[in-house]
Amino acid sequence: MEEKKIKGKKNICIELGGVKTQTDLLWQMKTVKRDIISVIIPIYNVEKVLCRCIESIRKQTYKYLEIILVDDGSPDNCGDICEDYVDKDSRIKVIHKCNGGLSDARNIGIEFASGEYICFVDSDDWLDMDMIELLYKVCTEKNADIAECSYRNVFSNYIREETPCTAEIVEGDNLFALEGMLDWKYFKPVAWNKIYKRSVIGDIRYPVGKIHEDEFTTYKYFYNSKKVVYIDVSKYNYDRTRNDSIIGRGFTENNLDACFAFRERIDFFREHHIDTLERKMNNLYCHQVLESAYQCYKNKVRGKKVTQLIELVNHDLTYLKQADVNAFYLEEFDILRGGVKKYGKHRHRKEFS
């Protein structure tokens, strides 16, 4: 096992595969002129399912991988499990760091990735054996910057396919992808069912300290792409069984981060003159804010982010009255500006009248 301390990075160390050094492996892959795909897996408190995830990546039919395991200061045995894998597979690189959250772990993985392509996998999920090969194939054949597939929602007693899985291949430019993302059609804002050319990621990083982190970033990756491609087959398995996961904890104040992400999108679309999607983006933002505010009311959620949301609503009413947006949302925002309690009672009366 080879261990390195990274100069200028506090509390981070990297362990490289012990069968061959990582440098030797990457050199070998480059000499056969195959693109290296860096697979980044942030890891925290998933010792019971971590091996399932790692094994699904090790067994990929596309072998030219750089597997980056980012131990985000996990309090369980994840760090030891990662170290065991270093000696099993020369493609594996382990990064141990202090806990900083999912975004921070992904960002560290990006910094140390050397592949021409990048793929993100959540450590409680797993891949079909041919997912990466399939995405790489359609990406290169279509000369695309991002390739995406569908996924399965895996619950404790059933599996729900996210899409019909017709095997249809859909391709388009960046605006086509952005519109599909807003419509939840073909292209999704999630980080993990895709491969990306390194160039579209550039210096864009995930926001540290926030959840719904991909809502802040994926649309920027789409925008940076000249061409994107989607294939309607499920190859990613999304674990919906864990109650202790970020998604499984139920609605909290931190879920309001999605509202702030959508608000940033409005500014991004305006700054980049994406006028054809203005109405869709405005309506989607308003819907997200109203639903989140009602969840705050029903779950008795209070805090700084709730206050921030109401301040944002009051500020945005001026903009929205001049913008292209459904008039219904203006009426609802006018009620919400009076606070979550006022709006919650209004929604409750509408639902049960």
Largest CA distance in the chain: 70
More confident residue, 150 or 24: 150
Q: What is the pLDDT of residue 6?
A: 43
Q: What is the pLDDT of residue 4?
A: 46
Q: Which residues contact 271 (CB under 8 A, 6 or more apart)?
A: none
More confident residue, 23 or 59: 59
Confidence of residue 18 (pLDDT cuts 50, 70, 90): very low
Strand partners, 92: 67
Residue 115 contacts residue 66 (beta carbons within 8 Å): yes
Confidence of residue 2 (pLDDT cuts 50, 70, 90): very low
Structure tokens at 347: 């929604």
Cα gap 312→314, rounded to integer Å: 5
Q: What is the pLDDT of residue 352?
A: 86
Looking at residues 24-37, what average pLDDT do you find? 65
pTM for the full predicted model = 0.90
Q: What is the pLDDT of residue 21?
A: 46
Q: Which residues contact 236 (CB under 8 A, 6 or more apart)?
A: 125, 127, 128, 131, 149, 150, 151, 152, 192, 193
Cα gap 133→149, rounded to integer Å: 12
Looking at residues 314-337, what average pLDDT do you find? 95
Q: What is the pLDDT of residue 25?
A: 52
Judge whether residue 15 has pLDDT over 80. no
- Each residue's pLDDT tens digit, 73-126: 999 999 999 999 999 999 999 999 999 999 999 999 999 999 999 999 999 999
What is the percentage of the chain residues whose pLDDT exceeds 90?
87
Confidence of residue 8 (pLDDT cuts 50, 70, 90): very low
Judge whether residue 1 has pLDDT over 60. no
Confidence of residue 19 (pLDDT cuts 50, 70, 90): very low
Judge whether residue 5 has pLDDT over 70. no
Judge whether residue 268 has pLDDT over 90. yes
Q: Which residues contact 179 (CB under 8 A, 6 or more apart)?
A: 276, 277, 280
Judge whether residue 20 has pLDDT over 50. no
Structure tokens at 265: 């999108």
**Architecture field, domain 2-247:** Alpha-Beta Complex (3.90)
Cα gap 81→71, rounded to integer Å: 10
R_g (Cα) of the chain, nearest Å: 22
Instruction: Quote the Cα angle for 32-34-38, to 5°.
Output: 130
For all residues of the chain together, what is the average pLDDT?
92
Confidence of residue 250 (pLDDT cuts 50, 70, 90): confident
Cα gap 3→1, rounded to integer Å: 7
Helix (H, G, I), strand (E, B) or coil at 265: helix
Give the count of beta carbons closer than 10 Å to the beta carbon of residue 21: 14
Cα gap 151→8, rounded to integer Å: 38
- Amino acid letter for position 175: L
Q: What is the pLDDT of residue 126?
A: 98
HSE toward the beta carbon, residue 324, CA cutoff 13 A? 10
Cα gap 281→301, rounded to integer Å: 26
Helix (H) or strand (E) holding 79, with range, is helix 78-86
Domain boundaries, the chain: 2-247, 250-352
Judge whether residue 12 has pLDDT over 80. no
Give the count of beta carbons closer than 10 Å to the beta carbon of residue 86: 22
Q: Quote the DSSP letter at residue 6.
A: P
DSSP string, 119-136: EE--TT-EE-TTHHHHHH
Q: What is the pLDDT of residue 353?
A: 76
Judge whether residue 29 has pLDDT over 80. no
